[in-house]
């Protein structure tokens, strides 16, 4: 018993010492940007069982990121990295509104932010890193000023830098805005509303760009280049702060066990496959499928022959060696000026466009670029069909509802494969969000319909998201949406040569316009740019290497601008401006004026007439804050029928004047009062006992009132809560004889 008590006492002292040293373990650094705003990075306070954890704060917004890596090596051919981003309702002082009142699956905003973090940190992992790693980003608190996604990227960079996980960081990230030609660093939500640019820039040391993600209201190439340049410079401040924190709180990095390469196997694979692969990659007659078949045949033959010569070698390692030889052979051919489909580095693939594919559709388009084919359709509906965002997403994005939605679908048959069809994945959500960003700036904000644009990829061989932008623009113009201009998108690729001894020393590079799938897979960059003739509306840069110089980024922007103009010229040959002649399938909308009484009859208690129009005719009726009535109908015939119904309703429902005195006919006597009508065919309303006479009345019979009798009442409008008419008889009892308004048809 005494020994057990001593053990408990020892555990208590250890816990006490742990909490006494709590503040001593914590370390904090501050980053001061050129606009006077500060960002705090701290570690050692929370989640200390993780390899590393970091808190990033700006204003009252705080994000915690943890990094945990497995000790067991996987056999994956890709970097086993998982990013999870969680924005919980508690961070904004809210309770989830779902049935269970707790967080469920990831929202679209959470998925997009997780992809933003992933694309920023993944390029700095070695291709030989095979330990499963998870980064969890948790928003602890969120104010109404600063967005948490930038903090999540910087906190993830800090956590990986402080941990013992092998990683070639740190990186820094900033958000860049542009307002009145002034570059804003990490603008607030209010500042973003007046900014023509919302750009996230991620960079590493020596001003190397890692990732770009942005949208804008038609931004010129000079303004875009300026914003990127300033963003990269400000990101260096974050990198310096992380390095300072790393010196005081960082852990020694684990030593990577690089795979050993059997030089004899490498030489055998190279000698057996290099020339055959070169012939395949230089054969312009190959398409995506035949080229893949040819490469796989070479791989199967080489693996069998090499394994027979080296029976003790792991077949998987031989396959990895073949993959590296194949990639290097493909890249060497590009430096020789030979793309696999015969194009020069600046050529576009063959493009064809077609619109108005199916008559019942409000708008449709088929866009074909090379072997990438996208079918886009537009559906127009009433404003009631707008997407209502949950309260937490509204706080984070500043948008309460969306009347334009782009849904991107990538079925397995698009690549000739068999797979699951149904719910969308993270990749589809990301591609759809990018295409939506590109098209939003050209859609009028006061458009009276909700627009749903669907983009279904029928064939895929690279840049399906940019094909969705082009096809979506054509479909919108075909549907008669008054867009301010056509929008096109194109992807620019990159192949680089670096110094073997110093990877940061760029020796040579080739920029490829309009990359195909194999050029994306074998290359180093995928920069997607979209916009109108006047400038950019969206940009996204993804790298497979740890950074590229600013001059390469600017040159890629220039090539993207030139290619975008060529695509727009081809699209203009199909349709130059939005359709102005109505299709029979188009819905219609019209604003009408109704008096207060007619509006009350239409939208009053229960709204039975409005519901009747919706159910029987399919017409939606909406009323804005100015009491303006808008009718949405699926066709002109339905609209005419609805207007006729409302017209007859207006005839039956005369406008009653507030304070007016009317003859009311008693149609029923009840215990609580009498039911009366003020005009023919009017639904009876209650005149309560308390309003029958100036003296207290328990029942109408005490006043000798009978069914069919007419009495005088005064009208006081409608109750703002229930919508019921308010009338009174007792206020008319006095010495003066009032003027009575008769609403009978015979009067």
- pLDDT tens digit string along 4-15? 444 445 444 444
pLDDT digits (tens, 9 = 90+) for 224-248: 999 999 999 999 999 999 999 999 9
Lowest mean pLDDT among 161-175, 209-223, 324-338, 721-735: 721-735
Q: What is the dihedral of CA 239, 245, 251, 254, to 10 degrees?
A: 0
Q: Give the integer Cα–Cα distance in Å for 368 and 356.
A: 15
More confidently predicted of 606 and 8: 606
pLDDT digits (tens, 9 = 90+) for 410-425: 999 999 899 888 788 8
pLDDT digits (tens, 9 = 90+) for 619-673: 888 877 666 788 888 888 888 888 888 877 766 666 778 888 888 899 999 988 9
Predicted confidence at residue 18, as pLDDT, reads 43
Domain 26-249 has what CATH class? alpha beta
Instruction: Report domain extents, the chain.
Output: 26-249, 263-335, 351-574, 588-652, 661-732
Lowest mean pLDDT among 270-284, 288-302, 521-535, 626-640: 626-640
Radius of gyration over alpha carbons of the chain, in Å? 34
| The CATH number fitting domain 263-335, selected from 3.30.390.30, 1.10.3720.10, 3.90.79.10, 1.10.10.400 | 1.10.10.400
Q: Could you write out the three-class secondary structure of 312-351?
A: CCCHHHHHHHHHHHHHHHHHHHHHCCCCCCCCCCCCCCCE
C-alpha closest to that of 247 among 546, 27, 50, 23: 27
Tokens of 677: 């009508």
DSSP codes, 633-649: ESSHHHHHHHHHHHHHH
Could you give the 3-state DSSP secondary structure of residue 607? coil
User: Token match 């469920």: residue?
Assistant: 104
| The CATH number fitting domain 661-732, selected from 3.40.50.300, 3.20.20.140, 2.40.50.140, 3.40.718.10 | 2.40.50.140
Name the CATH superfamily, with its identifier, for domain 588-652: K Homology domain, type 1 (3.30.1370.10)
Confidence grade of residue 26 (pLDDT, cut at 50, 70, 90): confident
> Helices 263-281 and 288-309, interaxial angle, to 10°?
160
Could you give the 3-state DSSP secondary structure of residue 299? helix
pLDDT digits (tens, 9 = 90+) for 382-438: 888 888 877 777 777 767 788 999 999 999 999 989 988 878 889 999 999 999 999
Could you give the 3-state DSSP secondary structure of residue 566? helix
Buried b (16+ CB within 10 A) or exposed e, 463-481: bbbbbbbbbbbbbbbbbbb
pLDDT digits (tens, 9 = 90+) for 557-594: 999 999 999 999 999 999 999 998 888 888 988 888 77
Residue 501 has pLDDT above 50, yes or no: yes
> Stretch 179-199: mean pLDDT, rounded?
92
Q: Do domains 26-249 and 661-732 have the same CATH topology?
A: no
Q: Give the integer Cα–Cα distance in Å for 119 and 427.
A: 12
Predicted confidence at residue 19, as pLDDT, reads 42
Q: Maximum distance among all alpha carbons in the chain? A: 122
> Stretch 367-382: mean pLDDT, rounded?
95
For the chain, helix (H) and strand (E) counts, in that order, are 17, 29
> Under CATH, what is the fold of the domain 351-574?
Ribosomal Protein S5; domain 2 (3.30.230)
C-alpha closest to that of 371 among 352, 347, 345, 391: 352
């Amino acid at each position: 018993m005494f020994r057990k008590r001593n053990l408990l006492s020892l555990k208590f002292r250890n816990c006490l010492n742990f909490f006494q040293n709590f503040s001593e373990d914590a370390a904090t650094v501050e980053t001061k940007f050129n606009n006077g705003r500060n960002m705090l990075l701290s570690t050692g306070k929370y989640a200390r069982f993780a390899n590393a954890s970091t808190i990033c704060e700006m204003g009252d917004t705080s994000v915690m990121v943890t990094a945990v890596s497995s000790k067991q090596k996987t056999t994956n051919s890709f970097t086993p990295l998982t990013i999870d981003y969680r924005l919980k309702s508690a961070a904004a002082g809210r309770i989830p509104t779902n049935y269970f009142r707790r967080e469920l699956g990831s929202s679209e905003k959470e998925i997009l932010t997780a992809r933003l973090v992933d694309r920023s940190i993944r390029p700095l992992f070695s291709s030989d890193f095979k330990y499963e790693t998870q980064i969890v980003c948790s928003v602890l608190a969120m104010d109404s000023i600063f967005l948490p996604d930038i903090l999540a990227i910087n906190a993830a960079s800090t956590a990986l830098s402080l941990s013992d996980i092998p990683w070639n960081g740190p990186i820094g990230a900033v958000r860049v805005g542009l307002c009145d030609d002034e570059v804003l660093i990490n603008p607030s939500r209010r500042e973003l509303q007046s900014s023509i640019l919302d750009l996230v820039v991620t960079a590493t040391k020596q001003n190397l760009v890692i990732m770009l993600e942005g949208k804008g209201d038609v931004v010129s190439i000079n303004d875009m280049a300026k914003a990127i340049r300033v963003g990269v410079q400000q990101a260096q401040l974050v990198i310096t702060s992380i390095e300072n924190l790393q010196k005081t709180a960082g852990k020694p990095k684990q030593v990577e066990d690089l795979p050993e390469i059997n030089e004899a196997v490498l030489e055998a694979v190279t000698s057996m496959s290099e020339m055959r692969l070169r012939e395949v990659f230089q054969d312009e007659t190959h398409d995506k499928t035949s080229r893949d078949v040819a490469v796989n045949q070479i791989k199967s033959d080489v693996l069998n022959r090499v394994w027979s010569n080296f029976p003790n070698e792991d077949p998987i390692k031989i396959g990895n060696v073949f993959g590296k030889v194949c990639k290097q052979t493909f890249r060497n051919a590009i430096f020789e000026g030979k793309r696999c489909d015969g194009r020069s580095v600046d050529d576009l693939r063959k493009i064809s466009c077609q619109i108005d594919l199916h008559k019942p559709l409000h708008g449709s388009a088929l866009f074909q670029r090379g072997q990438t084919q996208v079918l886009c359709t537009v559906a127009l509906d009433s404003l009631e069909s707008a997407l209502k965002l949950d309260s937490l997403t509204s706080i984070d994005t500043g948008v309460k509802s969306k009347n334009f939605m782009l849904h991107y679908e990538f079925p397995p048959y698009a690549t000739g494969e068999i797979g699951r069809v149904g719910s969308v994945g993270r990749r589809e959500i990301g591609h759809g969000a990018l295409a939506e960003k590109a098209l939003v700036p050209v859609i009028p904000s006061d458009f009276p319909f909700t627009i749903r644009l669907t983009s279904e990829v029928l064939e895929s061989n690279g840049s399906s998201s940019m094909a969705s932008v082009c096809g979506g623009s054509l479909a919108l113009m075909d549907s008669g949406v008054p867009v301010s201009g056509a929008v096109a998108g194109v992807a620019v690729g990159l192949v680089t040569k670096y110094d073997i001894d110093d990877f940061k020393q760029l020796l040579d590079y080739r920029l490829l316009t309009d990359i195909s799938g194999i050029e994306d897979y074998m290359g180093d960059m995928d920069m997607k740019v979209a916009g109108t003739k006047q400038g950019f509306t969206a940009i996204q840069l993804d790298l497979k290497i740890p950074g590229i110089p600013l001059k390469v980024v600017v040159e890629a922007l220039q090539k993207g601008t030139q290619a975008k103009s060529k695509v727009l010229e081809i699209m203009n040959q199909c349709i130059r401006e939005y359709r102005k002649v109505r299709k029979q399938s188009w819905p219609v909308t019209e604003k009408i004026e109704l008096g207060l009484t007619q509006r009350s009859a239409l939208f009053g208690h229960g709204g039975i007439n409005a519901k009747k129009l919706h159910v029987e005719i399919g017409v939606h009726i909406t009323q804005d804050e100015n009491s303006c009535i808008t009718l949405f109908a699926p066709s002109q015939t339905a609209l005419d029928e609805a207007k006729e119904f409302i017209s007859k309703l207006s005839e039956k429902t005369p406008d009653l004047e507030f304070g007016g005195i009317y003859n009311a006919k008693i149609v029923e006597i009840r215990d609580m009062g009498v039911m009366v009508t003020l005009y023919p065919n009017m639904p009876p309303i209650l005149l309560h006992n308390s309003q029958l006479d100036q003296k207290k009345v328990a029942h109408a019979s005490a006043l000798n009132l009978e069914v069919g009798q007419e009495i005088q009442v005064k009208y006081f409008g409608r109750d703002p809560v229930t919508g019921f008419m308010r009338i009174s008889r007792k206020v008319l009892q006095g010495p003066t004889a009032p003027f009575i308004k008769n609403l009978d048809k015979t009067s």
